Structure 1
């Protein structure tokens, strides 16, 4: 990493990241500007940026988002989200903290069965309506949900994209993730609920008049187009089945989402232009820019050098290696997107596992998965779900700043990673 391009790539990435953090310019402009500079200095090129599976734009993520945004756009027209908002508020007796707990649990469970990005796309519109009905600040509820989505997604193979990469490289099954990570994920959700009671305590303002109004509403009256609702739910069920059956069907989630979106537009009365207008195009552009910038770091060998240094530090100490891998992955996944990070670390982790005799409990793989998945909560751009929620909030004129998200995300990440370290030590070493 002695050539000028490597150092230039670092300067560009750090500069773009600083602009995103400080919000001196819009994050989309910062990401696309950084991507353009990476291409201009030759840190990456068109083939790597647009066609490389290793260091280019992850089109599976882009098209998964686009397909699900289209499906959600159609469902919004039916009144489904208004129905769910009224239903959830009434079940929680319109008490703000109860509402947050309900949304956290629903988000975590759905993220384990779908994936965290799809879940926040479905839950965020409900949250916006709940907060509007009860005159509550939107940001704390959206932040709590995205934190829950990343924790819940840790539980299964399909819950978070890094888990799919790890499963493929390590030969792990859906049931392996359930047995090893689902119990911890449930514990961490309880910790998140406890933390939310403290972190967001100023947001739980109970408006008795508003609550009474909502309790008198009839949720069924919110449904505006029953036929379109039935069509949308059938397609959504097929898409969910496609996600869950990925190990059998071998269709990428992006293909399933696009097929579902195309089918729904074809069979329904929804106008194609109206559906496409619901797509968060700035969010997709931000992801594209971010992927290209990280690709520049990969192509110039920067991320590879960092990963090799980590591997050398681990050596043959399985316990120390697991803790270092967990902590380092949490830190790095908060700075760069956890998908390319895991793609880079997967072969290195595989070599470490082999060198240590192919540990039967796969502890190093679980450390990598926990660090990458939970570390994504640390900052506003650490995971795909974070960026999507920030885009939704901005579009609905309730913007969440980088630091507003990150000051809560850092606390939750520190606590959940610490609990994960204790879990790893107890399960795989102390009680093994």
Structure 2
């Protein structure tokens, strides 16, 4: 990890000092023509305060872009500049029952300094003369970091970083492990995305935030969330959901939402298989001495497990139907789809999926609705992932069928959300 003097040199360089000696002097920042004023201004950054902050950060635990202690957790999130301008930050959410608070906004001074330490480490790993040049995004006019009022490390460093973070504060003292804090982060991220329809994307590493090659990275927009999460969600499926929302490509969206459903196939299929088999062997009509009954059990298992090579349906279609039955309420699903797209319910009821002829959904058919849901979703998925030339009538053609596929997104999005929520646990 970068030393104190390395970080201090980086700060000095960003404030316009080229040759800096390793000493304990305060940092003097010259503000020229400050906000149109004719006279220059000088601001002092205390070496003592900077050293205290550095020692505090060094004593905290970290993992890549995560900085945490027993009671705090902070990680960088990518917010679109347009959203940053139009929203009021910080966005806060307090769970007074469990003693947890969440905040999306400018990073703390501790986290900001930690990121500068990571940036300096990345610079040290560069070869040649570029090893002394900070990332382009930090080489902005530094006057913007300073306001008209009191300027301290707590106000300067977050503005210098120019990105936002997700902060979790554990006021109860009951949740001290990193694993628990990450689960809380996952819960917040899902509910943020669920309520806003926008992806909450974490940076991958410091080079993702501050590319050393001065490349331009893409951004994803976010907006406000107002209530704390009260459930623990499965992290893997939230990642699929996040990937779906982060993409503008309906193909990637559909496949990512489908992965949420597929995640539970084996678990739910096995549970259904065991339950049905128990019911059969404990039924009063069953006798292990009756060969016909034994053979009936064997055929039941065989038929349940078989795979139909011709259609490619087999276990997956049955598993999807079991997952839908277990985690999805039709009434709740219809309500959620209607929120996402008010025309979608009627469309699914009266129109097949044009490029694969997947079935319509009879919402009032209480007996067959799950079968119809499963077939529409699964046949569409097959059309996306299979591209055999002999099945042109069932094959998805990029660009040509994109608008039709876009119409299916509200359905799989709402189904994925229902599965994520109903497979979760209450905190």
Range of TM-score over shorter length: under 0.3
Richer in helix (by share): 1
Richer in strand (by share): 2
- The structure showing larger relative contact order (alpha-carbon pairs under 8 Å, at least 6 residues apart) is 1
TM-score (norm 2): 0.23
